[in-house]
Structure 1
Amino acid sequence: MNLFRYQSLGSTALVFAGALVLSLSFFAISLWEFSRTEADDRARTVQLAEAFVKQYATSHSEDMPLPAAFRRMGLENFLQTRVGDTAHAPMKIRVPGPPGRELGFTESSSHVAQKISKIAESKDVAIQHELRIENSKVIGRSIFPTIASSDVCVSCHNRELGEDVYQAGDVMGAFVVESDLTGYVVRSLAYSGVAFGLILLVYQFLAIRENRRTRAIVQLESEVQLERQRREAEAYSNFVLSHDSLTGLVRRSVFMEKLRSECSECLEHGFYLALVDLDDFKSINDSMGHDAGDALLIAVGDRLQKIAMGAAGLAARLGGDEFAILLPKSVHFPTTDSIGSKIVELVRQEVNHNNFSIRPRCSVGLIACGPGDFHNTKSLLKYADAALYVAKNSGKNQYCQFDDQVLKDLKRRSLITNALPKAIRNDELEVALQPKVCLSSGAPIEFETLARWNLDSKSVSPAEFVRIAEETGSILDLDLATLTKGARFAAATSHVIGAPVRISSNVSALGFRTPHIAEKIATCLDRAGFPADCLTIEVTESVLVENIASANESLSSLRASGVRIALDDFGAGYSSLQYLQQLVFDEIKIDRSFLQNITEDNEKHFLFLKIVEMAKGLNKEVVVEGIETQAQLDLALSSGARLGQGYLFSQPMNRTECLDYLQRSVGQQTRSQLG
């Protein structure tokens, strides 16, 4: 609005100046035209008077000269015709001679007198016109030199002067004719002022109209601009709300709406739904940093977007490292195999970030929906997720299409997911115990408690229901139930055999995310009446990967109560000397994978020996898992390890079998001592 005001002020100044120039121009032209007309009128008057004088002089003889005053009389006679003529300015005529040689008339104006003197001296016969301001009046003046054109005029003037002054052709004086233009000038100025005012009034009127129109336009433009800004802000807000800020892909809500639309329409060719999950993404964040993880997510998002855009589909980031693609069936992707292989191939291309070379991998779950098939979004996502689950558990870095077998597995998984928490609450799980033995004597030192479960009178594999428990959040309840049941059995058995029975029990990394895990374990021991110093808690290195400070705090609290801590499955996952230095533990359990295909002269044997040597150097107890043959036992003994566990000594036993096993072991020890 300030700019608009400045522009208005500038326009007003220009119009004012223009109106002034026009008014003054009108005045100047009008004055020039009038003064020219008056000058012509003065000339005609003088010509008429001169003609009269010549005519009169011709009719008289030389003996009767014409006096100079007669000239004035003739001129004044002609001026009488102008009386009352308002079209002309008042006019005066006089006929002065050169100063000092006047004939009956002395010029009162020194300016005119000087003019006549110069005319007489130079004998210049040209008529002189001038426009002057004299005595507060505007005077238009014409000076006509009078010439001695005849001997009568010469003799007459010389006689009057008393000497021979003039000769024929001399300038004897001048006709001075003056017009008073003051009234006309005043009227012209008045007219110019009126014109000036009218111009300003017209401009003001037009300016008011223009200002109103301009203000209306400005207001309209402002409203349009505000509306445009509002729409842009709304569009940006909608984009931010509907798109992932990191990858630029649509969010889950937009993808679900598109999926619902696809499901509700009877498509001619059908469509595909693919769920994509990055494999081991957390390890990339942990080892390379979250910047590298973000760079990987951006790169994968771009690649999936490229696939979607090339086939008129839609790619989305559902959250974390999980993506989804919705594609119509087309010549580009006629089958689920073509989509799955394309996604896996494109995702695993190398990503470079800050001198890091990342080779991502992904698992893909696919489902095809044909023309006319009716599905709802929840079932489609559930089926695709089931296929993704199979791909993950089949080794990762691959795709899996939803089919009857996947559906069967999904139903099985859903059955276990629903039944397992109830079984835990109802104390329906059983416990199996597998001994840890002294490698040199074979005597049992401790028993590891393992969960067992029968569903509909059929045994469920621990690998199956433990994994589901971890995925559904029931794993801590499962671990604590197993610990409680094992502790109760050990406490009761100790009274039967008359000797303490030690047990070990697993607690998952997910369990250590729960606040007050140490207090929960202590509560289980109190309920079972089992001493804390007869318990070993086995944890995996993933506990440390989650949060080493929090895990160490919980483990230190357990050790303070007398519980031993064992690092389970060492060497199978995130093995690092950093964890060995920072974790408070008493025992290292070497993963069973080290004994598979091991011989005395291969690299596995060398690495196995170094791990045992390192553990003993750290003053930690070593337990070798997976001993199934005498050769493996011999290698374990030769390494210096003291304890072992495996099918060579015993498979997991139920409580009755374990009690018999303990009683036999106690009997053998007693006989050995007696012998």
Structure 2
Amino acid sequence: MRVLLVDDDVVDREFINRKLLKHNDLDIQITEASSVDEGLVLYHNQHFDVILLDYRMPSRDGIEMLLELGNEPKTNSTAIIITSSSDDEELALSCLKAGAQDFLVKSEITTTRLRSAMLHAYTRFELEKQLYFETHCKTGNQVDRLTGLTDRYVFEESLRRELHHGLRAGYKVAVLLIDLDNFKYINDIYGHQVGDWLLQEVAKRVHGCLRGNELLARMGGDEFAIAISNLKIRKDIESILKRILQSLAIPFIISEFAIKTSASVGGAIYPENGKTTDELLKHADVALYQAKSLGRNRYSFFQKRMEEQLSRRHQIEKDLETAVENNELLLYFQPVINVENENVVGFEALVRWKFKEKIVPPDEFISIAEQSEAIWSIGRWIIREAIAVLGGWNALGYADYSMSINLSSVQFKDPELVSCIETCIETFNVPAFQVEFEITETALWRDLKESRRVIGKIRELGCRIALDDFGTGFSSISHLQKFPIDTVKIDKSLMPGSFDGSKDIAIIMGLVAMSKMLGIDVVAEGVETDAHLSLCKAAGITRIQGYLYSKPLCKDTIDELYIFAARSQETR
């Protein structure tokens, strides 16, 4: 049984964990969330049989999540038990009327009571769902209240009929799943009313791209589905997909806002990608995931290898959960060089994962850690280890180095991030100005309000802020104006492969000049040749890093090449 536990109190979560996992003959798997928003994200990304939902939480109460889930299609719902410190009967009754299957007072929770309530709630919910379908869905007239489209239940029932007809007539049937890119951030920035309006307009545009005999449905959230029957070749589907993506690329105008969005689409075709509704939807979802991972705003059709890749990804996600406690993470350090005298002035901390005696590169696991939020614990480990190393060098008398640490946008949601940084610089006696946090432009854009708040708190501690991958984002200048940026790191992709043309050189010269006018330091990444070094000197860049001087190295090698070497020179 898969359980989603939503409670802001870590002590209460641990208490319920102990009660549920004691004599775990039910094979219970628990996923935790500390807020309603976090719980909703998990709910929409995973399947749960039961939600244990705390009534009273900061920002948004559990009752808000209960009501929001009440708008979901019954086929996508979950049994819900509300927990509360209050034994108010009126409160309990209002929660049950709002759609909860049970209400538990926390002080009265025992292992037996909790497990019994979960089993009863799940059974009661299944009966409610069956009654719902029998009384509401047999007519085949169910529609999504927001968009007026067919809902999930009718879509799946209609698809089953089409597959039966396709089997008899010998034609293909395609299932397409459409998911809006970054819809959550549109909701966060503009509000849920604008988000609802956008979903209605998206439904209209997609419908306008169809021939008229396809079935279009809203599956829940920002996901839509299309069933296309009587197909002969896949090329017929691709023309529809291109029209849809081009249509959604045109900005949506509401009031004074011009909202830009895009969509990712996953497709599966009967009979080669599946012979049942469940198989086709599952494989279309796998293809959708592939489209998103390739950069979004594109479509992908299911291939067998995608399932294998997804299986490997899930395995990595599972293995990452214990990477910190099993001491499997390693820090490597790449020196930052002063251009004038070629001395080392700092290091960038870069994480590696040693799993089963093999070094897993960050490209293979960081994005997975971000999506599973394992990046929270991994990120705190990196901060702690990097600052500890810097403190050790300071204790040896080498207090001139800086330490750059990368921050993921997902870490902005970690409630312990700022306190972790503060504790580390105090514990290891490191002046805050020696620590620099690198943030990408994409991370800033995803949630401007939260980004400003967290970066402001880090800046208040005295740490420096660097804008990484500078020049590759889509609003560099505005970020320099809106955020307290101390350093920009010119992305290695801007380093010219050849020096025949002047465009690449002019871009770097312009970026450096602009940064200097704003009083911002510049670091160049990807310096790999003498020509790159000469360009940096000509542009007035003072700090560089790259393979011309050193690749990332483990701490022992750094100590031997730079720290102890410098110490031995001083004693001569």
Cα distance in 2 for residues equivalent to 1:524 and 1:460: 27
Amino acid at match of 1:573: G
The alignment status of 1:481 with 2:381, answered yes or no, reads yes
Match of 2:439 in 1: 539
Among 403, 419, 422, the alignment partner of 1:503 is: 403
Q: Secondary structure at the match of 2:323?
A: helix
- Of 257-266 and 615-624, the range deviating more from structure 2: 257-266
Residues 530 and 360 (structure 1 numbering): CA distance in 2 closer, same or farther, change over 3 Å? closer
Cα distance in 1 for residues equivalent to 2:150 and 2:477: 42
Match of 2:366 in 1: 466
Cα distance in 2 for residues equivalent to 1:393 and 1:383: 15
Q: Name the TM-score, length of structure 2 as normaliser.
A: 0.65
After superposition, what is the alpha-carbon deviation per residue over 1:456-483, rounded to whole angstroms, capped at 9, x for unaligned? 3333231121111222222222222222
Q: Name the TM-score, length of structure 1 as normaliser.
A: 0.56
- Of 305-314 and 588-597, the range deviating more from structure 2: 305-314
After superposition, what is the alpha-carbon deviation per residue over 1:528-579, rounded to whole angstroms, capped at 9, x for unaligned? 6655333111112334324444433332332332311112222221324332
Cα distance in 2 for residues equivalent to 1:452 and 1:506: 13
Kept in 2: contact 1:249–1:316 (CA 8 A): yes
Q: Secondary structure at the match of 2:444?
A: helix
Cα distance in 1 for residues equivalent to 2:522 and 2:320: 34
**Higher normalized helix content (fraction of residues):** 1
Q: Secondary structure at the match of 2:541?
A: coil
Match of 1:393 in 2: 293
Matches within 5 A, 1:22-101: none
Q: How many angstroms does 1:311 deviate by?
A: 3.9
Residues 273 and 569 (structure 1 numbering): CA distance in 2 closer, same or farther, change over 3 Å? same
Residues 614 and 240 (structure 1 numbering): CA distance in 2 closer, same or farther, change over 3 Å? farther
Cα distance in 2 for residues equivalent to 1:352 and 1:490: 48
The alignment status of 1:591 with 2:503, answered yes or no, reads no
Match of 2:203 in 1: 301
Matches within 5 A, 1:179-578: 242-245=143-146, 247-252=147-152, 254-255=154-155, 267-268=167-168, 269=170, 271-279=173-181, 297-298=199-200, 300-305=202-207, 310-320=212-222, 322-328=223-229, 330=230, 333-349=231-247, 351=250, 361-370=262-271, 377=278, 380-495=280-395, 499=399, 501-515=401-415, 517-526=417-426, 530-578=430-478
Residues 670 and 468 (structure 1 numbering): CA distance in 2 closer, same or farther, change over 3 Å? same
Residues 518 and 262 (structure 1 numbering): CA distance in 2 closer, same or farther, change over 3 Å? farther
After superposition, what is the alpha-carbon deviation per residue over 1:305-325, rounded to whole angstroms, capped at 9, x for unaligned? 3566734534325323x3222
Match of 1:611 in 2: 511
Q: How many angstroms does 1:514 deviate by?
A: 3.4
Residues 550 and 388 (structure 1 numbering): CA distance in 2 closer, same or farther, change over 3 Å? closer
- Of 541-550 and 442-451, the range deviating more from structure 2: 541-550
Cα distance in 2 for residues equivalent to 1:477 and 1:241: 44
- Of 576-585 and 309-318, the range deviating more from structure 2: 309-318
Cα distance in 2 for residues equivalent to 1:396 and 1:448: 30
Amino acid at match of 2:203: G
Q: Secondary structure at the match of 1:348?
A: helix
- Of 577-586 and 591-600, the range deviating more from structure 2: 591-600
Cα distance in 1 for residues equivalent to 2:518 and 2:388: 33
**Percentage of pairs with the same residue:** 32
Q: Secondary structure at the match of 1:538?
A: strand
Cα distance in 1 for residues equivalent to 2:533 and 2:513: 17
- Of 652-661 and 539-548, the range deviating more from structure 2: 539-548
- Of 345-354 and 634-643, the range deviating more from structure 2: 345-354
Cα distance in 2 for residues equivalent to 1:397 and 1:517: 32
Cα distance in 1 for residues equivalent to 2:375 and 2:332: 17
Structure having the higher Rg: 1
Kept in 2: contact 1:443–1:665 (CA 8 A): no
Cα distance in 2 for residues equivalent to 1:440 and 1:299: 57
Q: Secondary structure at the match of 2:462?
A: coil
Amino acid at match of 2:285: D
Show structure 1 runs of 5+ residues with no match. Answer: 1-233
Q: Secondary structure at the match of 1:574?
A: coil
Q: Secondary structure at the match of 1:646?
A: coil
Kept in 1: contact 2:142–2:154 (CA 8 A): no
Amino acid at match of 1:343: L
Cα distance in 2 for residues equivalent to 1:647 and 1:591: 14
After superposition, what is the alpha-carbon deviation per residue over 1:408-435, rounded to whole angstroms, capped at 9, x for unaligned? 2111111111111221343321111111
Residues 312 and 622 (structure 1 numbering): CA distance in 2 closer, same or farther, change over 3 Å? closer
Kept in 2: contact 1:340–1:364 (CA 8 A): no
Amino acid at match of 1:370: P
Kept in 2: contact 1:285–1:293 (CA 8 A): yes
Kept in 1: contact 2:176–2:266 (CA 8 A): yes
Kept in 1: contact 2:178–2:288 (CA 8 A): yes
Residues 348 and 371 (structure 1 numbering): CA distance in 2 closer, same or farther, change over 3 Å? closer
Residues 650 and 548 (structure 1 numbering): CA distance in 2 closer, same or farther, change over 3 Å? same
Amino acid at match of 1:338: D
Match of 1:643 in 2: 543
Kept in 1: contact 2:408–2:439 (CA 8 A): yes
After superposition, what is the alpha-carbon deviation per residue over 1:123-147, rounded to whole angstroms, capped at 9, x for unaligned? xxxxxxxxxxxxxxxxxxxxxxxxx
Kept in 1: contact 2:490–2:525 (CA 8 A): yes
Amino acid at match of 2:406: N
Q: How many angstroms does 1:438 deviate by?
A: 0.7
Cα distance in 2 for residues equivalent to 1:382 and 1:458: 32
Residues 283 and 569 (structure 1 numbering): CA distance in 2 closer, same or farther, change over 3 Å? farther
Q: How many angstroms does 1:374 deviate by?
A: 5.8
Residues 256 and 436 (structure 1 numbering): CA distance in 2 closer, same or farther, change over 3 Å? farther
Q: How many angstroms does 1:370 deviate by?
A: 2.1
Cα distance in 1 for residues equivalent to 2:398 and 2:345: 15
Q: How many angstroms does 1:518 deviate by?
A: 1.4
- After superposition, the CA RMSD in angstroms is 4.0
Residues 341 and 600 (structure 1 numbering): CA distance in 2 closer, same or farther, change over 3 Å? same
